[in-house]
Structure formats: C-alpha cells, structure tokens
Amino acid sequence: MSKLGNLGARLHRGEVGYDFVGNRKIWYGISILITITAIVGLAVRGLNMGIEFQGGAAFTTSKTSVSVSQARSYAEEASGHDAVVQKLGTGGLRIQVAGVDTDKADQIAEKLADDMNVEASSINAELVGPSWGEQVANKAWTGLGIFMVLVVIYLAIAFEWRMALAALVALIHDITITVGIYALVGFEVTPGTVIGLLTILGYSLYDTVVVFDSLKEQTKDLTKQTRWTYSDVANRSINSTLVRSINTTVVALLPVAGLLFIGGGVLGAGMLNDISLSLFVGLAAGAYSSIFIATPLVADLKEREPQMRSLKKRVLAKRQAAAQGDVAEGAEPVETSYDAEPEDATPAVVGPRGQRSQPAARGRGRGRPSGKRR
C-alpha cells in the first residue's frame, strides 16, 4: 500500500505518468469497437424483458428436487409459452411465464403441481399486468432525460460547455455498453435493472467531475505561459487523479462483485443478478470513460479554440528552438523526464518536451591559458 501511495504522490507531482491524451485515438477506437459490439448485440438478441414489462405470471415453489431444466419443460408444456426458471436460495424455484391471464394461471399452477409431485397450495402464483411495466419504463426514461439535462446545465455553469458535452458523451457511452452487455449475456430486465442503470449515472459522473475540477484549476491563466499546451495539462490532471479513481472504483466494485458472483451466482438470488450486473458493468465503464474518453475529448474540443491553437504553436516552436539550440552546441540527445515543479509554478505535465538549454556559463574561460578568469 505504501508503494501505491508513493506512486500516487509521484503521479500528482508529475514525476511519472502515462500519456493518456496523446494516445486518445487508441482509446476512441477501443470505445467505438465496444460500443458497436454492444449495439449489434442489442439489435440481434434484444433485451430479455421480464414479466414486469411484458405481463404474465410468476410461480414460486417450495423446496423441490426438480431441476431447472425439468421445471422449464413442465411450465412450457402447461402454458404453451416460453418460461424462465431460476433456482432460489431456499431450494425452491421461481417460474415466470409471460402472456398469461388469471384463468390460465390457475390451470398452469395445478398442472405444475401434478408434474412436480407437490401440493398445489405450495405453489404461489403472482400476476403482473403489462401496463405496470410500461409505466415503470416510461418513468425511467423520463427520469433519465431529466437527469441528463440537469447534468449538462450544471456542468456548463460549474465548468464550461465543452466539459458538459464530454460528460454527456461519457454517460451515453456507459449506458450503451451496459445495456448491450445485458443483451449479450441474456439476463432478464427487471425493475432492479432499471434501478441499477439509474444508479450508475452518478458513479459515472463522479470520477469525471474530479478530473474536470483538477483540470479547471490547473488551466487558469494557461495562455500567459509557453511551456505547456492544454493537452499537456489535461494529461497531468488525469495522472494526478489516477490512483484516486482506481481506488474508489475498486472499493465500489468489490461489494457489487460479491452480489453478482456470490449472491446471484452461488446463492441463486435472481434479483441480485439483475441489479448487480448493471452496477458492475456500469461502474467499470464509468471509470474507463472518465479517464480515456471524457478528458481527452475536452482537450480535443478546447484546442480548437484560436487561443489554444496559438498557444500550442508557441509551445511547440519554443521546444523546437530549444532542441535545435542543444544540437548546435553539440549536446548528445537524451531522453528527458519531468522533474517536480515548485509549488508556485505551472504544474508539470507528462509527455514529450524539448531538451533543456545548456547553462549560459558553459565555455566561460575558454581560450585562456589557465582557463581561469583574469
């Protein structure tokens, strides 16, 4: 842990780091590929909507020795519809059949009791109308739309419109990937899924806002100097908050992973699967987008401004002049690294820069017999 803390301190001071912004095209390409895969999965397989959204009946049995596959075949034979069967932690089964009414549900329950050799009273039937699921879906979409509008307005006021736009792109990126993976995995979409999707929006924005706040602070009066471009400072902001982002993401993922792999996978709690998968994928996608998508996108948008383009030209010209001056003096090219800057200086940035000029005192006393000053 001490090594991780030392690494975080060195990243914050700019002594080490990775050029996230410089390699942004790689991250854009990876994100586009993942997003396209998610969209294709969503278009081809579609979402497995639960009975809460389609309407139907859910039958819960007491502890039984009947397997999931056997129960599925019994339910499909009794109802004439596809059935979804989940093993419960109590040893019982939850059988869901979409598109059945009250009269048919009673017949299905009796037929299941005969096939499974259990008492009819031990099978609990619950009916859900499709109108209820439609109301939930409509309210979820409304809430999502209002949330995004408020987020864009707040970020535009607190930071600037470019950061608001980048955060919105990151949110859409995270939601698309999460929904696409849901389609590929085939997990059932329930109200728990909707809760998970709405919850990850806040987590997705958390790391993004932290980086944006650091970037806003470090770019004050940026055009008054000629050492760093906007992309340089953006890269420094990512590196300085990198360990913090990793720590918060890992801490958030651990309990969610416990719900997904132990609660849902081992214990067989279906509702835990629904909410934990959306949280797990959404948290991971949110951490990725805040580092690899949102901030590099802000740098791209910001450097389209005339002031930032002019600053970049001046910085690059100064670096080139410094490099040419070193070569003219016969200095051997060496790789330079960024030393920690004084606290009152412009923050150091990880990335390539020109060689430092040699001290002006080099060559003093040359040509004199003793090499000493007279």
Q: Is 90 exceeded by the pLDDT of residue 26?
A: yes
Domain assignment present for residue 5? The answer is no
Alpha-carbon span 263 to 61, nearest angstrom: 20
CA-to-CA dists, residue 244 to 133, 299, 360, angstroms: 39, 21, 42
Please give the pLDDT value at position 266: 53
Residue 272 sits in the same domain as residue 190? yes
Domain assignment present for residue 150? The answer is yes
Residue 164 sits in the same domain as residue 223? yes
- Residue 61's closest CA among 51, 71, 76? 71
Domain assignment present for residue 143? The answer is yes
- What's the N-to-C CA distance of the chain in angstroms? 58
Please give the pLDDT value at position 349: 43
- Domain termination site, one of 110, 128, 146: 128
Q: Is 50 exceeded by the pLDDT of residue 368?
A: no
Residue 265 sits in the same domain as residue 176? yes
Residue of higher predicted confidence among 41 and 338:
41
- Of 268-277, 284-293, 320-329, where does the model show the most confidence? 284-293
Please give the pLDDT value at position 245: 82
Domain assignment present for residue 155? The answer is yes
Question: Which residues is 48 bridged to in the sheet?
Answer: 188
CA-to-CA dists, residue 366 to 122, 286, 313, 361, 371, angstroms: 103, 61, 37, 11, 6
Please give the pLDDT value at position 248: 84
Residue 241 sits in the same domain as residue 287? yes
Please give the pLDDT value at position 354: 40
Residue 180 sits in the same domain as residue 288? yes
DSSP 120: G
The token pair that represents 161 in the structure block: 């419109």
Alpha-carbon span 143 to 70, nearest angstrom: 41
Residue 169 sits in the same domain as residue 238? yes
Domain assignment present for residue 180? The answer is yes
Please give the pLDDT value at position 196: 81
Provide the CATH number for the domain around residue 108.
Answer: 3.30.70.3400
Q: Model confidence at 361, in pLDDT bands (50, 70, 90)? A: very low
Q: Is 50 exceeded by the pLDDT of residue 191?
A: yes
**pLDDT one-digit tens code per residue, 220-238:** 888 888 888 999 999 888 8
Number of domains, the chain: 2
Q: Which helix (H) or strand (E) holds 297?
A: helix 295-302
Please give the pLDDT value at position 10: 66
Residue of higher predicted confidence among 27 and 322:
27
Mean pLDDT across the stretch 5-23? 70
Residue 223 sits in the same domain as residue 113? no
DSSP 91: S
Residue 124 sits in the same domain as residue 166? no
289, with CB counted inside 10 A (0-12, 13-18, 19+), is buried
Q: Which residues contact 278 (CB under 8 A, 6 or more apart)?
A: 178, 182, 193, 196, 197, 199, 200
Alpha-carbon span 370 to 254, nearest angstrom: 71
DSSP 121: G
Q: Which residues contact 145 (CB under 8 A, 6 or more apart)?
A: none
Domain assignment present for residue 372? The answer is no
Q: Is 90 exceeded by the pLDDT of residue 78?
A: no
Q: Model confidence at 337, in pLDDT bands (50, 70, 90)? A: very low
Domain assignment present for residue 327? The answer is no
Q: Is 70 exceeded by the pLDDT of residue 179?
A: yes
Please give the pLDDT value at position 351: 42
Q: Which residues contact 128 (CB under 8 A, 6 or more apart)?
A: 51, 52, 55, 56, 57, 58
Residue 34 sits in the same domain as residue 122? no
Residue 252 sits in the same domain as residue 147? yes
In contact, 341 and 350? CB cutoff 8 Å = no
**pLDDT one-digit tens code per residue, 44-54:** 888 877 777 77
Q: What is the residue range of 193's domain?
A: 23-48+132-306
Q: Model confidence at 165, in pLDDT bands (50, 70, 90)? A: very high
Provide the CATH number for the domain around residue 175.
Answer: 1.20.1640.10
Q: What is the dihedral of CA 75, 76, 82, 87, to 10 degrees?
A: 30
Within 10 Å of residue 227's Cβ, how many Cβ atoms? Answer: 17
Stretch among 155-159, 214-218, 350-354 having the lowest mean pLDDT: 350-354
- Domain termination site, one of 283, 306, 329: 306
Residue of higher predicted confidence among 24 and 56:
24
Residue 142 sits in the same domain as residue 288? yes
- Domain termination site, one of 104, 128, 152: 128
In contact, 55 and 104? CB cutoff 8 Å = no
Residue 102 sits in the same domain as residue 213? no
